[in-house]
Every structure is written in structure tokens, then in C-alpha cells.
Structure 1
Amino acid sequence: MLTEEQLIHVRRHLHEIPELALHEYQTHDYLLEVIHEFNQANLEIRVPDDLPTAILVLVHGRQPARTIGYRTDIDALPVEEQTGLPFASRHPGVMHACGHDIHMTVALGVLSFFSTHQPKDNLLFFFQPAEESDYGGKRAYEAGIFTGKWHPDEFYGLHDNPDLPAGEIGCRMGTLFAGTTEVNIDINGKGGHAAYPQDANDTVVAAASLIMQVQTIISRSIDPIASGVITLGKIRGGTIRNVIAGHTRIEGTIRGLTQEMIEHIGHRLQAVCDGVATSFGLDVDLELNQGGYWPVENDPSLTKRFIDYMQQNPDVNFIETAPAMTGEDFGYLLAQFPGTMFWLGVDDDSQLHSATLTPKDDAIQKGVDAITGFLNYRMQEN
């Protein structure tokens, strides 16, 4: 079983070798190296052919009534680290700026505990690539990885939170993270000389009208008590000041706390695009790409059990948190399997995805203890 000192060493090494989605080869090899050092008596390790940087570890229970899944993400972000840490990223332009090094280390700590303390139920650990992009959870599910003995009856996972004290557990009933959808809008008209607008069809003017109309989707098309966001963050049109643009592209994002909300906003956006196309007499092509970034909607009964345990455990500091508009592809897996995602506080002044994010090491052991305690509690239930 890994000691706290060993866990910190593992975390710092993982922090040094961040890799981008679907290219986590060095991370994958190091994780396997650590896992192979555990007691193998009740472990079964699988590397799926369809997702070769993923790792599944099945811990065989002594009297299994269910299989409980635990997921951790393993990829990093294209961020140049600016922490100045002695164990900073050795890969230029890539950093664990979302704290997945903490996620992986906590998972390894929990796995190491159950490798020496055989659980009652089966436990399935999923080391998932491609959370930040390319939706690895959805890829894994569609590849049929979670079938047969590798099928979890329920799934759990954490995300670190720099706004919470190190080791504090946060969770809530309902949605923890929003779902996200990429928005791409291409407006195709007719270019021409700035002096002869009557002979052209100006896509910049059409884009301006579209952008203003989109602002009414949230303010006038959804319940004010519900939560939804649409942001158009990038626009590109034209080549020079005295030429009317024949093409303009707009890029943005939709976020919502329920899948129904995301789909509703998407339908309204399509209607606005169709209306602009008709009124300006040009083509407006809308592309919506959600991938696997569905809302992280926690299962009611499992989440109540989780919160009850954390609130009653004198060794755990628990806080009920508000929903966040950030995205997480664990939402797709929670749409397929009941489960719960929760926060682990890591106490830092920098935010997630920041080049200066520096999670506190002392959150790791507290996270391991809280999760192993909950899993043992869960396995005592019918």
C-alpha cells in the first residue's frame, strides 16, 4: 500500500510528464509500472486495443454483489507551465493545468489500498485518456470496453477544486458540471468592392445581426430560473478594409446544466441562423458538436449515500457546492451508468487551466482516505 510520501513522489513525477489527449504514452507506461508494484493477487489489468493509452484494473471482490467503478482522467492541457516548481513539466507547452496528476495519484492510492485489503465487491478502476479534448469517456463506451465483467454497476470520480481547502470534499445533488457544445457558424454571401455594396452580399453585416439576435436566446427563450449560457467568442470575416466579405465564421460554446437545456438552446440557435439566412438572402451553416461533454448529473440515490457518509465522517470536511458551468466528459458516462462526481479541495490561488495552478500535496492522502472509507461503506449495503 502506498504511503503518503510515496503518493507525493508519484504525483510529482506525473506532473513532470504531462501529455495531450490520446497521446498519453509515457503517462500510461508509468501508471502501469506503479500498478504492477501492487499486490497482484486479486488484480486483473486490461489495456483495450481500441483505446491503447487507457488502463482498466479489476479488483476481484471476496463476495461480490456488484461492480463499483472509479474513473480518473490522465491527459493534460496545451499550457506552458509558469509555476516555477522543481517538478515542473518537462514537456514544453504541455502542463497538468487541470490537476489530473492529483486525480491519478488519488486513484492509485485507492487502488493500492484495495490491492492489500480485498474488497467485498468488485472494483473497476478506469484510467481514462482524452478528457480535456476528444472525449475519451464516450470513446471508451462506444468501443464496448464496459461489457461483461468490465461492466460497472455504478461509477464515481472526482475533480480537484482550488477554491476549497486541501482535502475538503464537495458535492451536490443534481448537476455538478454543465454540459458543453461547440458552436461553429459559417455565413456565405458574396464578396465585392466596398464602393458597390449593391453588387455584393455582406456577411459581416449578417453576422452582426445574428450575434445580436443570439443574445435574446438566453434572455427571452429559457426560464430565468434555469441555467444556460451561449457565448460567441470568436469571429473572423473579410480580408481588407475596402472589400465586402463574402464569408464570415463565428465560433462559440453552449453550456447548460441539463441535456434538455443544451438541446433547447441548440434548436433556438438553429432558428436564428435560418432566419438570418432568409432575411439576408445568403447561406448560414450551423455546426453543433457536443461530443461526450454532457452535463455531469449525479444519481439521486447514490449521491445521497455519498453525501450522508461524508457528512457523518468526523475525519472528512464536507461542503455542499453550487453547480459549475465548466465541462467534464464524465457526464457522458454518468448518462450511461448511475454514479456521482465530487470535488476534492486542493487550496490554490490559481484557477483550473491556469499556467500557475499549484495544487497542495496534502490533499492527496485526505482524498484517498475519504474515498476508501466511502467505498467500504458502500460495499456494506445491500
Structure 2
Amino acid sequence: MVHSSFINIRRDLHKIPEQGFMEFKTQSYLLDYFSSLPQERLEIKTWKTGVFVKVKGSQGDRIVGYRADMDGLPIEEQTGLPFRSSHKGMMHACGHDMHMSIALGVLTHFVQYEIDPDLLFIFQPAEEGPGGAELMMKSEQMKEWKPDEIYALHIAPEYPVGTIATKEGLLFANTSELFIDLTGKGGHAAFPHETKDMVVAAAHLITQLQTVISRNTDPLDSAVVTIGKLTGGTVQNIIAETARLEGTIRTLSAEAMAKVKHRIEALVRGIEIGFECSTVIDYGSNYYQVNNDSAIARRFIEFMERQEGVQLVVCKEAMTGEDFGYILKEIPGLMFWLGVGSDYGLHHAKLNPDESAVPFGIEAITRFFHSLS
């Protein structure tokens, strides 16, 4: 099967984006595809809505892993493409359809062309939330087939096709969701003295949260606290009894994440006292930093620098979150950016990756894996 045919597979997958741990159609599509391949060197195991596929090597003395995430995002697609999402309110706006298609292309190649190590392809659900990688690492399937080293990619709209970008060490940040609920006492707008106004309390808290970074974080240790959503109240003449802040925390070290959360909790306690209210903090999904193994990264970078048609970029770390970090916490490996040249970025309703990145990615990864034999 020629690499360009995986563009059609990408389009099929693009039509059926599903939320984390609900990737039933996606899993079924993958299993149907695997059943079409020669089975002599394949072993397939499912886990929740994910799939493990091992391709036996000629020596089998070690296992090289490759991970592709499966889930979509709750975004209404606005691309106008003929193969746009058929699932209302859902879209592959982070490129996981591209990730899976490239992985399928690499897998198909090595079903036909044997190399020394076993290859384990991991199709992982719930990367966007609540974080399938951490749970998958604890599965019996992973314990049985735990790779000795592992690789993954993420599409990068800002780079043109032909670009591969990565670095040694830290690539993606530690991330945490942030939800803060405040409860006071509502009442008529004409009698504010009889109430505990949670819109005012929330406004004060938002302002104070800005000091977590500017006054509580080492300026040489990058961190971000963003409140992206505030809800509170019912109508204009009723003082709000409740309010909710929703945001995100991102840091370049696990230690900084702990310090930021500690400071947020102290500020929230102050709001409780100052506004005579109750509060609940929920950190939601937390993703561990993506830290590339230095020796593996050097080997990968040196290989790609020698490849014709590959523009290798040694990039800076980013505040992006990726649950692949939980895998790299236990298995040495590497994640890299793959250029897809889109005018719109990740998680945008008009994200439209250049599909020529699919055959390019397949070719680049298969060549690299051959070098590991």
C-alpha cells in the first residue's frame, strides 16, 4: 500500500471524532483495518477503547514502541471540507486523525518488511482528557509488552511540511486544569447588605491570581495561570449566590506546579475569610511534563539531519500539555513536532493540516526505525 493512500484513511478518521474513552467507532475502524493485514507476525490486544498491536521482529530481543492518540475535541468544525466531521459538536482539531494515519502507515510497512526488534504500536484513547496515557501505563497489556524505548509525534501547524522539530530534555510543560467554585448568599440587588456576592468575590480572586506568577514564581522558572471562563449569577437584578472560575496552570517543572497550587489554595482561603463564603478547588486533569531522553533525542536528531528532504529544527520547549509525559516518565523515548503548515492552530475550528505530511511522516519514521535494526 503506497503512503498516499493513508490520506484517505485520515479522511475516514477525520469524519468520526469521539471524546475520550468513547472512541468506539474509531476503535472499530482500526480493528477492521488490522484484520485486513497479514496476521503471521501480528498480535492485537484491546484496552478500553484503545488498541495495542505488536509486530514481531526477526530477533525480538527488545521492543520499540510508537504511540498515536485517538480522541477528538468538543469543537464544532468550521473547515467546510467535504470530509468534515459527521459528529455534531466534535472535531479532530488537534490532529489525532493525522497521528493515527501515520502510525497505521508505519505499522503496515513493518508488517511487510521485518526488522530486528519487535514493534509495539499503541493507539491511545483520551489524550485530551482525562488522560488515557497514565491509565494505559497501568494496564496488564502494557505490563506484558512494555517497550524498551518509545516514540510519538504531534502535528505542528506553524511549521511547513518537511519539518521535524524536537530537542533533548524538556519539550512540553506540566499542566493542570483549574476549577474554583464559590458559594455565598444570593439576594435582591436592592439589599446587598443581606447577601454575600460571589461575582464580586470571583472578580477579586481573578485579580489576586495574577500575582501567583508575577510575585510568587521565580522569574527564571516559567509558569502560567490563566482563567479562561467565569460564570456567575442568573439575572441583572439578583446578587449572585455562586460563581465558578475555570482555567489552566502550566509550569516547566513539577516543583513549580506544586508551588503554584499551594499559592492558589492560600489565596482562595483568603477569599473565604474576606467574603464569608465557601469554596471548592478541583484540579481536573493533570499532565506530567514531556521530557525527551537525551541520548535517544541526540540519535534521532543526528539521523534526521542526514535525511534528504527533512528540515530538522532544534526547537524550544513549549507550554503545551501532552499526557505522553506519563509514558516518558517510565520509558525512555522521544516526542517530536511534525510540520503540517496550517493557517489555523491546534484546537481551532478551522484547523486544516496539509495532508502531504501524512506520507512524509510515514517515510521519515519508517527510515528511522530501520536504523534501529
Q: Would the TM-score normalized by the shorter structure come out above 0.5?
A: yes
Could you tell me how far apart the structure 2 residues matched to 1:282 and 1:41 are? 65
Q: 1:75 aligns with which of 61, 71, 74?
A: 71
Tell me the alpha carbon deviations over residues 246-296 of structure 1, each in whole angstroms, 9 at most, x when there is no partner.
Answer: 3222221111222222222111111111222233333232222234x2222
Provide the secondary structure at the position in 2 that maps to 1:82.
coil
- In 2, distance between residues paired with 1:78 and 1:281? 36
Map residues 120-139 of structure 1 onto 2, 5 A cutoff. 120-139=116-135
After superposition, what is the alpha-carbon deviation per residue over 1:219-252, rounded to whole angstroms, capped at 9, x for unaligned? 1111112211101122222334443333222221
Give the superposition deviation at 1:128: 1.0
Once the two structures are superposed, residues 319-348 of structure 1 have per-residue CA deviations (whole angstroms, 9 ceiling, x without a partner) of: 122222222221222222221110111111
Q: Distance in 2 between matches of 1:327 and 1:284?
A: 27
* Aligned residues of 1:160 and 1:345 also touching (Cα < 8 A): yes
Tell me what 1:182 maps to: 177
Calculate the TM-score normalised by the size of structure 2.
0.94
In structure 2, distance between residues paired with 1:236 and 1:359:
34
Does the 8 Å CA contact 1:19/1:75 hold for their aligned counterparts? yes
Question: Are the counterparts in 2 of residues 89 and 95 from structure 1 also a CA contact under 8 Å?
Answer: yes
Instruction: Check whether the contact 1:174–1:299 (CA below 8 A) recurs between aligned residues.
Output: yes
CA distance in structure 2 between the aligned counterparts of 1:97 and 1:211, rounded to whole angstroms: 29
Selected match of 1:112 from 108, 111, 116:
108
Deviations 1:128-178 (A, max 9, x none): 111122211122123333112x11122210011111111321112222222
Shift of 1:69: 0.9
- Matched positions, count: 373
Q: Which moved more, 1:78-87 or 1:364-373?
A: 78-87
Matches within 5 A, 1:267-346: 267-291=262-286, 293-346=287-340
Question: Take 2:292 and 2:6, find their aligned partners in 1: how far apart are those partners?
Answer: 28
User: 1:222 matched to which residue of 2?
Assistant: 217
Q: 1:309 to 1:280 in 2, by over 3 A?
A: same
**Any idea what SS the aligned residue of 1:322 has?**
coil
The answer for the alignment partner of 1:94 in structure 2 is: 90
1:204 aligned partner: 199
Matched, 1:144 2:112: no
Distance 1:59 1:6 in 2: 21
Letter of the structure 1 residue corresponding to residue 342 of structure 2: D
Distance 1:151 1:103 in 2: 21
Partner of 2:364: 370
- Say which SS state the counterpart of residue 47 (structure 1) adopts: strand
Cα distance between partner residues in 2 of 1:107 and 1:315: 20
Residue in structure 2 matched with residue 55 of structure 1 by the alignment: 51
Partner of 2:101, secondary structure, is helix
Q: 1:94 to 1:204 in 2, by over 3 A?
A: closer
Q: Residue 29 of structure 2 corresponds to which residue in structure 1?
A: 30
Amino acid at match of 2:20: A
Q: Which moved more, 1:103-112 or 1:5-14?
A: 5-14
Deviates more, 1:92-101 or 1:156-165: 92-101
In 2 relative to 1, CA 240–321 (structure 1 residues): closer, same or farther, beyond 3 Å?
same
Mind listing any 5+ residue stretches in structure 2 that lack a counterpart? Answer: none
Structure 1: gaps of 5 or more residues: none
- Contact kept? 2:3, 2:362, Cα under 8 Å: no
Q: Do structure 1's residue 352 and structure 2's residue 346 form an aligned pair?
A: yes
Following superposition, the deviation at residue 44 of structure 1 comes to 0.8
**Which residue of structure 1 aligns with residue 12 of structure 2?**
13
1:263 aligns with 2:258: yes
Please report how far the alpha carbon of residue 360 of structure 1 lies from its aligned counterpart in structure 2 after TM superposition: 1.5
Letter in 2 for 1:40: Q
| Equivalent residue number for residue 44 of structure 1 | 43
Structure 1 CA distance for aligned equivalents of residues 364 and 296 of structure 2: 16
Contact 1:179–1:255 (8 Å) recurs in 2: yes
Shift of 1:195: 4.0
Q: CA deviation at 1:297?
A: 1.8
Check conservation: 2:129, 2:285, Cα contact below 8 A: no
Q: Could you tell me which residue of structure 2 aligns to residue 245 of structure 1?
A: 240
RMSD after superposition: 1.9
Q: For 1:205 and 1:358, locate their aligned partners in 2 and report how far apart those are by CA, in whole Å.
A: 41
The answer to whether the Cα contact below 8 Å between 1:42 and 1:118 also exists between their aligned partners in 2 is no
Aligned-residue offset at 1:61: 1.8
Identity score, percent: 46
Q: Given residue 9 of structure 1, which amino acid in structure 2 is its aligned partner?
A: N
1:311 to 1:30, Cα distance in 2 relative to 1, 3 A: same
